[in-house]
Amino acid sequence: MPQTHRSLTAAALALTLLPWPAAAASAAEPTLETIMAHPDWIGNPPEDPYWADDGRSVYYLRKRNGEEQKDLIRVDLESGLQTLVALGDRGRADAPGGDLSRDRRWKTYARQGDIFLKDLQTGTIRQITRTAEEEGEPRFLAGDNRIAFQRGDATFVFDLVAGTLFQPAELALAKDPAEDEESGYLDEEQERLFQVIRENKDKQTAQREEDRASRHLDPTRAPLPWYLGEEVEIVQSSLSPAGDWMLVVTQAKGGAKKPSLMARFVTEDGNLKSDEVRSKVGTEPPTDHKILLLDLVKHEKHEVDLAKLPGIMDDPLKELREKAEKAKKKNSKDSKDTKDTKDSKDEKKKDEEKKPRPVEVWALAWSDDGRYGALMLHASDNKDRWIVTVEREKAAPVTRHRLTDPAWINWDFNELGWLPDTDTLWYNSEETGYSNLYLVSMQDGKSRRIVEGDFEVSNVAPGRDGKHLYYRANHDHPGIHDVWRVPVSGGKPEQLSKTGGETFFWLSPDENQVLLLHSTTTRHGNLYVQPNQANAEAKQVTETHSPEYLAIEWSAPEIVPIPSSHVKKPIYSRVYTPAGFDPSRKYPAVVFTHGAGYLQNAHAGWSDYFREFMFHTILTRRGYVVLDMDYRASAGYGRDWRTAIYRQMGHPELEDLEDGVAWLVENRSVDPKRVGTYGGSYGGFLTFMSLFRKPDLFAAGAALRPVTDWAFYNHEYTSNILNTPEVDPEAFEKSSPIEYAQGLSKPLLICSGMVDDNVFFQDSVRMVQRLIELKKESFETAIYPVEPHGFRQPTSWLDEYRRIFKLFETHLK
């Protein structure tokens, strides 16, 4: 029998299975060609790590050099040996995720779209499904002798004892045939005149009733279908752990979609093609979810009434809406007093006919006993988040928590779940200004905060005994995330990991150990294991950097709290200083602005902007000081920092950049006339705002894949911060760089991918036309015909950063 596994040391694995690309060889000093090559040359880090079922080893995925495929690797924790799991053996390897039986004897999981059952004592695996359909989300129902799983919109249950597969509820997107159809004159006349028609209709009705009675009374038949109507589509359906009721989330089918078009110029057949891509902010109706409660025992359907949610009938945008409408009328040539009076009456009528605001379901979780279903609901105007519970006997939802924000509800920190006692719900909330951790009892409805402070709690995981909650947080420093646990009964949180940097975690099956993915500013993530004890030593179990990468002495940034002249909090920043820094001379500087807006980059771990980190090493070698700021809007610093940009994007951030430049001048001997800036996406947007609104702040700038007009960006992101153009045109005008283009006086480089379906190439085209019409001379553009938002081709990365480097060398030296 051929050998399908190979046991190798970490070093042998790297050299034998994952050879480093020749392009990166012999790099003792970084060059643009080196750092912009395919990132395989750095070494591919562990991805999606998970514990083996017995807790004696861990698995992870690792991308192959020069390929997109990923290998599955097993690490034996006692010996340290690493084994490549062959493709043919993956079906027998332990699988991530899944659900455990109450006695922890059995595990059910999904792999490659099929469902499996594993005996954890013997290791025997039983395959439950083997179909062309995609099946997933398996879990044990009460009693552990049934497994529920999803196949598309349908829920199926496999009875382990009887070996029967059945559907507890058939959700039919159709009208109930038993309902009377609307009939016209001819229908009624036909039935009145012809006996055969009357008889056929009676026969059909009788047959339908017979079938319904049979389905209801005969346990061997599939249950009666649930007719949801022709005009809806299913968003989510979830069967209770007892299998006796179901929550179904629906929304209106289709909707008035208004996609944008994106042209492709470099195609296989040489012909121009266009793709339909995302719509623009405010151009589609808001998402509005309906929640149905299906009693599978009584076959009764109830719609969960959300009209009594606290504040659901309010319109937080009413004043802005009315202001925009008045401005529109004022600018309209045919505005008349009589029309104003009519509109006033219409507005009054609207107030009298108020309807609940549209909401969408963000999360759904069941208590273990299946008594309660918990739902997290989000208002479409982004101002409210509710947590409610429902019971089968009570279709009316009970509000357990309401979070209101006059700016917008964060898209992070919306976790919830149940403790094993089935009576206590946990959730996180920013109501104090930071994401803290709360419990709410179903008995008295009271909430209590069990983790509190000016730090952010995320990745919450309840211990299986229900005594502790584990989480990730930046307790001691905004840029250092470690693993913590807190007793649910109350008490001081314990710090489990003390590795510094950025750390993520996974508890072992017996919860005696913790698997860590840990990184630093100069090293990407690797895996560590430590005992589940406070301040225990973490043992490194993988090393995935290439020798070429490790041979380079990278410039490690300092994380500095730069004082703000506008708010009490400091602006945490990465500062790169040239070796041999001499305060008696004057240095040029570059300010890098990270993308996404809401993203943290001044942390102590490996950055998503790893190419920029390496580029900053090259810049420091050339005598530049580099500053990378977590300006207001960035993640990691609480609600007020995040929402400072509400209705005024590009204004607080620019104040922070000004403070950053002033700090460089005072503390790093930087020449204020030789400071440049660059950034991509949101960073490109801020480059525009800096050069247009504060033309003396920077000597030159490069805007990469930049937003130029927020009315052209997507709804999901933009409507949180600026509302919509129809409701709040003032915010869009105040926040869009194209409105300030007249201010350009310094050299500007614009770089854009032409197949960017995130920030459209059209953004840059419109900006270029605006600059042309304004007769601006100090800008140039570089286009990349095959690149999306995040470039993929090393040649494109190299070309872009050569241009950026040339811009700085020309105008800052």
Question: Does residue 582 sit in the same domain as residue 730?
Answer: yes
pLDDT digits (tens, 9 = 90+) for 558-591: 999 999 999 999 999 999 999 999 999 999 999 9
The Cα 35–Cα 67 span in angstroms is 19
pLDDT of residue 724: 97
pLDDT of residue 351: 54
pLDDT at 498 over 60: yes
pLDDT digits (tens, 9 = 90+) for 585-638: 999 999 999 999 999 999 999 999 999 999 999 999 999 999 999 999 999 999
pLDDT of residue 716: 95
Reported in sequence order, the residue ranges of 520-565 that DSSP labels E, i.e. its strands, are 526-531, 539-540, 558-562
- Structural domain contains residue 151: no
Question: Does residue 602 sit in the same domain as residue 676?
Answer: yes
CATH number at residue 780: 3.40.50.1820
pLDDT of residue 5: 31
Spatial contact of 91 and 111, defined as CB atoms under 8 Å apart: yes
Instruction: Name the percent of the chain lying above pLDDT 90.
Output: 84
Question: Does residue 207 sit in the same domain as residue 322?
Answer: no
Query: Which tokens hold the place of 113?
Result: 């779209």
Question: Does residue 320 sit in the same domain as residue 363?
Answer: yes
pTM, to two decimals? 0.91
Question: Does residue 594 sit in the same domain as residue 735?
Answer: yes
pLDDT of residue 437: 98
- Structural domain contains residue 157: no
pLDDT of residue 176: 85
pLDDT digits (tens, 9 = 90+) for 45-97: 999 999 999 999 999 999 999 999 999 999 999 999 999 999 999 999 999 99
Find residue 473's DSSP bridge partners. Answer: 457, 482
Across all residues in the chain, what is the average pLDDT? 92
Domain residues for 452? Answer: 234-250+282-330+355-463
- Structural domain contains residue 582: yes
Question: Does residue 743 sit in the same domain as residue 597?
Answer: yes
pLDDT digits (tens, 9 = 90+) for 344-359: 555 555 554 689 999 9
CATH number at residue 321: 2.140.10.30
pLDDT at 295 over 80: yes
- Structural domain contains residue 386: yes
- Structural domain contains residue 774: yes
Question: Does residue 563 sit in the same domain as residue 417?
Answer: no
Q: What would the DSSP string read from start to end of 694-758?
A: -TTT-SEEEEES----GGGS-HHHHHHHH--TTT-HHHHHHH-GGGGGGG--S-EEEEEETT-SS
Query: How many folded domains does the chain comprise?
Result: 3
- Structural domain contains residue 652: yes
- Structural domain contains residue 208: yes
Kindly list the distances between the CA atom of residue 2 and the CA atoms of 5, 86, 88, 529, in Å, as whole numbers in the listed order. 9, 12, 12, 33
Long-range contacts of 770-777 (CB under 8 A, 24+ apart): 770/738, 770/741, 771/741, 771/744, 774/741, 774/742, 774/744, 776/741, 776/744
pLDDT digits (tens, 9 = 90+) for 646-692: 999 999 999 999 999 999 999 999 999 999 999 999 999 999 999 99
Question: Does residue 321 sit in the same domain as residue 364?
Answer: yes
pLDDT of residue 392: 80
Spatial contact of 148 and 239, defined as CB atoms under 8 Å apart: yes
Of 463, 498, 526, at which residue does a domain stop? 463
* Helix-helix angle 185-193:195-217, to 10 degrees: 100
Of 463, 488, 508, at which residue does a domain stop? 463
Question: Does residue 205 sit in the same domain as residue 239?
Answer: no
pLDDT digits (tens, 9 = 90+) for 24-53: 444 479 999 999 999 999 999 999 999 999
Question: Does residue 668 sit in the same domain as residue 714?
Answer: yes
Name the band, by pLDDT with cuts 50, 70 and 90, for residue 220: confident
Name the band, by pLDDT with cuts 50, 70 and 90, for residue 780: very high
Question: Does residue 586 sit in the same domain as residue 674?
Answer: yes
- Structural domain contains residue 274: no
Per the model's pLDDT, the better-predicted residue between 175 and 717 turns out to be: 717
Question: Does residue 661 sit in the same domain as residue 774?
Answer: yes
